[in-house]
Structure 1
């Protein structure tokens, strides 16, 4: 389990910086028919993306796959990935511990 955690931390902290910065399928499909500038902002045309609004979590510390307040984008993305892995591992481990500790051993029938 420790080996898997270390591999996940390595992938989240280092390899995540090499992920594509291009829009995913939904983002790409939602801008079909519109003109988009270099920042990805819709400047004209007609598409379903014109009605899009910012998420309620747009100003959160982990918005846009990074940690706000850290100027280095590689460090910000890597730390956000590591924090996500650790949080997921902690929640999963806690749920496993709760489920395991509630189970009563079977009584022996003689």
Structure 2
């Protein structure tokens, strides 16, 4: 399998998991949140300042259907991570190749008397 096909398959799997399967994740609190509830540690809990943002609470603000909202939020998340990760990869890849191309030595420099 070629690298492009493998990457495309990975993106497809991530999109399916984020867009469809994520809706079936448990809505019950995780371990730490559950202990905080049981022990009353979260009594002074406050809303996060970004709690009203468009992607808060694993959904898309303004989308009434919960299933569509969660799925769309997951797909947006996959897209953002894909774009950010690809950009970072290409940025760092360009720097390492650029340094080797400038001195023509493959990144190694030798001292000349």
| Residue number among 29, 45, 53 corresponding to 1:52 in the alignment | 45
Matched, 1:3 2:9: yes
- If you compute each CA radius of gyration, which structure gives the higher value, 1 or 2? 2
How many residue pairs get aligned? The number is 96
- Cα distance in 2 for partners of 1:48, 1:73 equals 29
Shift of 1:52: 0.5
Shift of 1:57: 1.2
Q: What 5-or-longer segments of structure 1 have no aligned partner?
A: 34-46
Show the counterpart of 1:13. Answer: 19
RMSD: 1.5
**Greater helix content:** 2
Shift of 1:25: 1.2
1:21 partner SS? coil
| Residue number among 77, 89, 101 corresponding to 2:94 in the alignment | 101
- Cα distance in 1 for partners of 2:69, 2:28 equals 18
Shift of 1:108: 4.6
- Cα distance in 2 for partners of 1:72, 1:90 equals 27
**Greater strand content:** 1
Superposition TM-score, scaled by structure 1 size = 0.81
- Cα distance in 2 for partners of 1:102, 1:66 equals 37
- Cα distance in 2 for partners of 1:101, 1:28 equals 46
Q: What 5-or-longer segments of structure 2 have no aligned partner?
A: 1-6, 107-113
| Residue number among 80, 87, 99 corresponding to 2:73 in the alignment | 80
